[in-house]
A and B are shown apart, each in its own frame.
Chain A
Amino acid sequence: MTSRLRLLIVIFLALCGLGAGQVGAASRYSVTLDPPSFSIDESSELTVTITGDEDAAPIMPRVAGLVINPDGQSTSIRNVNGAVSAIFARTYRVTASHEGTFTIPPIQIGSMTTAPVTVHVTAAGTGNRANPGGSASGSGSGSNRGSAADVAAAVRAAMPIMKVILPKTRLYVGELVPIQIKAYFREGISARLEGPLAAAGDAFTVSGLDKRPTQTQEAVAGIGYTVLTWNSVLGALKSGDYPIDLELPLTVNVQLPGTDSDMASRLRALFGTAAPGAFMDDSDFGSLFGKVIQKSVTLKPDPTPMTVLPLPIDGRPADFSGAVGQFEVATTLAPAGGAVGDPLTFKLTVTGKGNLSRVSSEGLHDSTEWRVYRPEAKQTADDETGLQGLKTFSQPVVPLLTGQLTLPGLSFSYFDPEAARYVTRATPPIRVTVTPGALSNQVAPTLQAAAPRDGAGSAAGADALAVDVAATGGYAATLEPLIWRPWFLGATVTPIALMLAAVTLIRRHQLRSSDPALVLHAARLAAVRINLESMSAALKRGDTPAFFSAARHALQERLADLWQVPAESVDRQLVARQLPEADAELQAILTMAEKATYAGESLSAKALQEWQRRVLAQMDRLEAIT
């Protein structure tokens, strides 16, 4: 509840006539040191109490040899004879770096200062915290306050008590035992838990402390107590003698003597805050009708010596995994049978009381009959503390063969702390009927159409596999794909290259055959060749006119091809114009041709041979020109 809300409540109460007064009519300051003397291995609590001025912040001076750190703050409302005042307390933790007497100078709070405080620090182990009350206090005016002893007595009386109830004080390492932890709070004392109950030290584990405690009312020696109870499990971690070290941080609201507790009780009843569970943190009501101080304490039980024994080495089974307690084991298989290849579930169940978390099993192992998989563990607690329960290891198993198969039994070892010896539990083997299954119906005799050879693999067929086949046929040098082989690229590129080459040649030929100039050229060359052959034939016959006629036509075709003119237009005049330097020989041949053709001149065979040589020489000369 915020301070503003508290002020509203006060104003409301004042208007209702239940109380009247003013808050913070006059500011007062006081300083207390509890205890004023402490050993160097202890600390003291310095409290600066500010009455009436919430905003005033103390400025803590530096003291050589002392360390003063803020430790918290609290607020309370006091009603004294109708005068309501707000009290703000700021707490500091004081520790010393060496022995001696120190003086904390006046602390400045706003414009006021407190009285100096003397601190006595003694040697380690000589502290006297059981003698609180020697506190220094001051007010805004610097005067000491005389009620410190009463306050210390009230605080001591209000302090709660913690007890640990154990079934036994001798444990084995790894053993778990149930424990009850009880915190007793005197009736009328309100408190607030500042954190969960926690186990200190490394000798034990205490589980279940994070759960909400049960709250009951008990009377001890005629005094009523509100009791918080934790039902937990204690586990021993290492051998030796150790006390159980528990810590419960809480804040206790202490009602100081002379305050109006009856009015507070009536208000609690009026507003229903006296219900079970509400005893904690109802300081607001208490603070309205008297002075309540908040005390932060760490509650610890009285030291209870425990003896933790090591687990014996002798007789320790090889499969012992650290389980301590009392356990039973059982195995099941579901379904109870099946076909080859069908997965079945094998379960190993360990039930009992003890450290189930240390229960482990490797389960079954692969065999020629079974293929097994890694087991999966699942732990289930039967009670709230988890001390009792069961752990199940589920393991898929697959039969590999048909017929009556056996799942072997398993053993599990643990240490029984009651009997102080190791115990090994074994499960019986499980007989399983395995049928061939659907796969065996698909078994074909051979890879090819040929039947398998007798003997080879006929016995092996009983395991639901297709039987071995006769290894006939060829062998492939490699399983490497064709495309990864070096020659494949050549085999792919070659047809494309050949096709391109062929198409190129064909197209070239076709282009040539479709060109008129090329066609005319080829025709003239053919005519030259034919006329030269005719000339040779005429020579053999001795036919002079035919000889010169053929010679003249051959020359005409050659010259017409050279000059791109019609063959008929080639005569002596044209030759004289086009080839003046070669005129004489060509003119002679053409003149002789005319004579032989038109004048009927006849020459001897020898003369014709000479004329043939001259014609051929001119043809070679013209071809060279071309």
Chain B
Amino acid sequence: MKTCIALLLLLASAAALAAQGSVATAEQATATGDYRLAAQIYDQVLLRNGYSAPVLFNLGNAWLRLGKPGRAILQYERALVLAPGNPVIESNLAAAQQRAGTTSAPAGPWLAAARYFSFDSYTWAALVALWVLCAALVLLCLRGPVRRLARPLILVAAVTLCVSADAAVLCWSDLYRAVLLSPSTLHLAPAQSAAASGSVREGEVVWIQQRYAGFNLVRTADGHAGWVSSDEAVPVQVSRQ
């Protein structure tokens, strides 16, 4: 057993070291202006190790310097999922949007406040609050001094659950956000030969409504809807590539 644990720790360390080596190479490529090489390395790091806010941020920078603001915006948006509200990421995201000629959809004060934490943070908080609430309800059924703990626990857990659920509902649409990697045509049906119903710009953030046969039905910030190829509208929140 100890041997297995040691082997696992060794493998994890080796992977971490390999990732660090790759990232160092990518940083070196960035420093020398070879942004394409840097982007390739960062992509490989994400593929092997999963998502990391700094790696996503650096990858976004590389794409932006390569003149691909759509891809840069996608990486910045993903970095913000892991590090919500980070001013540095938001600064570069704004720069990328400016270069793409797009803007963020205006958010109301409640939504802006809700975005202070990530959606998963609210999910975790709600889950813990649910466990505490259930335990407190059990305590409430018992007799004796332990019962005194139940009421404050229920109050705290219920408030936490309500606030977290409300914030999650406010941020719900963020789960379906996608970024256009290139200027695209909105089609009336999920086929390239279908008539156009509009167009979307590179880097524009849209909301996926439905998926069908390699196409996504998306809605733009100004309310237009249409089908675009799923290769063009890439969701922000996805599993490992």
Q: Residues of A with Cβ closer than 8 Å to B?
A: 340-341, 366, 368, 371, 373, 398, 400, 439, 442-447, 453, 455-460, 463-484, 488, 491-492, 495-496, 498-499, 502-503, 506-507, 510
Contacts and interface: CB of A to CB of B under 8 A. Distances in A.
B134 interface: yes
B30 A479 contact: no
Interface majority SS (helix, strand, loop, mixed), chain B = helix
Interface string B159-186: 0000000000000000100000000000
Contact of A465 (B19, B51, B61): B61
A340 B92 CA distance: 13
Contact of A472 (B33, B54, B67, B87): B54
B238 A366 contact: no
Contacts of A475: 19, 49-52, 55
Contacts of B135: 495, 499
B53 A473 contact: yes
Given A368-B67, A457-B31, A479 B127 contact: no
22 contacts: A398-B98, A447-B57, A456-B27, A456-B28, A457-B58, A466-B92, A468-B27, A468-B30, A471-B19, A473-B52, A475-B19, A475-B51, A475-B52, A476-B50, A477-B50, A479-B81, A479-B82, A482-B119, A495-B130, A495-B131, A499-B137, A502-B138
Contacts of B23: 471
A471 B55 contact: yes
Given A459-B31, A483-B123, A444 B95 contact: no
B169 to A, nearest CB: 12
Contacts of B239: 478-480
B175 A481 contact: yes
A320 B130 CA distance: 72
B239 to A, nearest CB: 5
A371 B133 CA distance: 55
Interface of B: 19-20, 23, 27-28, 30-31, 33, 45, 49-55, 57-58, 61, 64-65, 67, 69, 78-79, 81-83, 86-89, 91-92, 94-95, 98-99, 101, 119-120, 123-124, 127, 130-131, 133-135, 137-138, 141-142, 175, 236-240
Contact of A507 (B30, B141, B175): B141
A106 B138 CA distance: 116
Given A460-B30, A507-B141, A479 B78 contact: yes
B193 to A, nearest CB: 24
Contacts of A492: 127, 130
A468 B240 CA distance: 23
Contact of B64 (A446, A465, A499): A465
A371 B99 contact: yes
Given A456-B30, A491-B127, A447 B54 contact: yes
A366 B130 contact: no
B123 A481 contact: yes
A458 B49 CA distance: 26
B27 A446 contact: no
A406 B98 CA distance: 20
A97 to B, nearest CB: 49
B102 to A, nearest CB: 12
Given A473-B53, A481-B120, 20 more contacts: A371-B67, A398-B99, A443-B91, A445-B88, A447-B54, A447-B88, A457-B30, A460-B61, A463-B65, A465-B61, A469-B54, A471-B27, A471-B45, A474-B52, A475-B19, A479-B236, A479-B239, A482-B124, A492-B127, A506-B141
A469 B52 CA distance: 12
Contact of A444 (B83, B87, B130): B87
Nearest to B83: A447
A482 B54 contact: no
A471 B58 contact: yes
B119 A481 contact: yes
Nearest to B97: A341
A476 B81 CA distance: 11
B182 to A, nearest CB: 12
Contact of A442 (B67, B81, B86, B91): B91
Nearest to A463: B65
Nearest to A491: B127
A499 B137 CA distance: 7
Contacts of B79: 447
A474 B130 CA distance: 27
Contacts of B82: 476, 479
A613 B62 CA distance: 93
Nearest to B124: A482
B125 to A, nearest CB: 11
A447 B67 contact: no
Given A446-B88, A466-B88, A478-B239, A499 B30 contact: no
B224 to A, nearest CB: 19
Contacts of B61: 457, 460, 465-468
A502 B27 contact: no
The 9 A-B residue pairs whose C-beta atoms are closest, nearest first, are A499-B134, A456-B27, A475-B50, A495-B134, A341-B98, A482-B123, A444-B88, A471-B54, A471-B23
Contacts of B89: 447, 466
Which of A443, A459, A482 gathers most chain B CB within 10 Å? Answer: A482
Contacts of B130: 492, 495-496
B93 to A, nearest CB: 10
Which of A460, A478, A491 gathers most chain B CB within 10 Å? Answer: A460
Nearest to B137: A499
Nearest to B127: A491
Contacts of A442: 87, 91
B95 A465 contact: yes
